[in-house]
Amino acid sequence: MLLRLRQPVQVDELRWEVENGDKPQLDAQAHPHANFSPHLESKPSQSLLRELSPGSSPDLSPDQGSDSGSDSEPDDAPVVPGPGFVLVSFDGDHVATETPQLRRNPLRMTEYLQLGLEEAFFLVYSLGCLSVHLQQDPLSITELWRQCMALRPDFVSSYAAYHHFRSRGWVPKGGSGAKYGVDMLLYRKGPPFYHASYSVVVEKVDERFEGSTLRPFSWRSLAALSRITANVSKELLLCYVIHPADLSEAELDSPACLSKLKVQDVMVSRWVSSKERAEQEDI
C-alpha cells in the first residue's frame, strides 16, 4: 500500500526514538488532508538492507567461500578451478614428494597466456624455462617433440623456421599470420611494441629445391599474396627449410634432426617500372 500526502509533513513531527523501539503516533486530526493506509505499519527495528540467507550465495567470486569444502578429502591430481588459482610445488628434500598445493594467485590476471606449439617447444628446448605436463606428468623434450608432431604434421619445418628467426632477434607469431594468408609474422621485440615487418611463408624442400610443397603457388596466387602484403605495409618472405637427402624419417622423431636442416630466405617484391627507373637515375 502506498502512502499519499497531499500536504507536506514536517520532519520533526515524524521523528521518534529508534533506540526505544517506540512506534510513531501519527495524528490524523493534525493533518486532515493526509490519507494514511490502515494497513501501513512502521517497523523501526527492520533494516532497509536485506540480509542474505545462509543458503543464498549470489557472489561466486574466488574471494568468497574459500574455506568451503575444506573437510573433503583432497584429490590425487589437483585441478586448477580458474585463473585466480595456481599450483605451487615447494623446493626442499622434506617436501619433494608432496603433491603440488592449490593456492590463490596474488596477482590479478586480466588475460590468458596462450602459447603455440613452436613457442612452447622453444621455451622448453632452447631456453629451458618452461615445463609441459600431460596428465600431471612432465614431458621430456623428445616426448614433447613427438606430441607436437602428432598434432601438426608440418611441425618440423615450422619449428625450424621459428627457431631460425627467433635466434636472430625476431619475434615470430604464427596465429596472427592467418589474417594475411601466411604462416607467421615477424615482429621487432613483439606485438605490443611494433607492427609486424615481414610476412613469412614456410616451405619444405630438398637440396635441389624440389619436393612436395606445403603450399603450391601459381604466379597469380603469388602476385595476389604479394599485393596483400604490400597493402598492409609488410614485406613477403619465402622461408625454405632444406631437408638433406640422407635424413631419414626415424631421425625426424627427435629434435636432434634440427642440426641437419638448413634454412634459406627469399624476399619477394613487386617490380614497378617507374620506381625502378627512378632508382636507376639516382644511381
CB 159 within 8 A of CB 178: no
DSSP states along 14-52: G---TTTTPPP---TTT-TTEE--TT----TTS-SSPPP
Residue 187 bears catalytic tag: yes
Distance CA 79, CA 133 (A): 13
Distance CA 186, CA 202 (A): 13
Distance CA 196, CA 109 (A): 26
| Nearest partner of 162 among 204, 121, 212, judged by Cα | 121
- In this structure, what are the phi and psi dihedrals at residue 198, rounded to the nearest 5 degrees? -135, 145
How far does the chain reach from its first CA to its final CA, in angstroms? 94
- In the numeric block, the cell 617447444 is attached to 121
Distance CA 114, CA 127 (A): 18
Choose the catalytic residue: 159, 187, 198, 240: 187
Distance CA 119, CA 117 (A): 6
Distance CA 3, CA 9 (A): 12
Cell of 219: 604466379
Cell of 169: 632477434
Choose the catalytic residue: 163, 173, 204, 234: 234
Residue 180 bears catalytic tag: no
CB 113 within 8 A of CB 105: no
Distance CA 185, CA 198 (A): 6
Choose the catalytic residue: 23, 179, 189, 195: 195
Positions annotated as catalytic residues are: 187, 195, 234
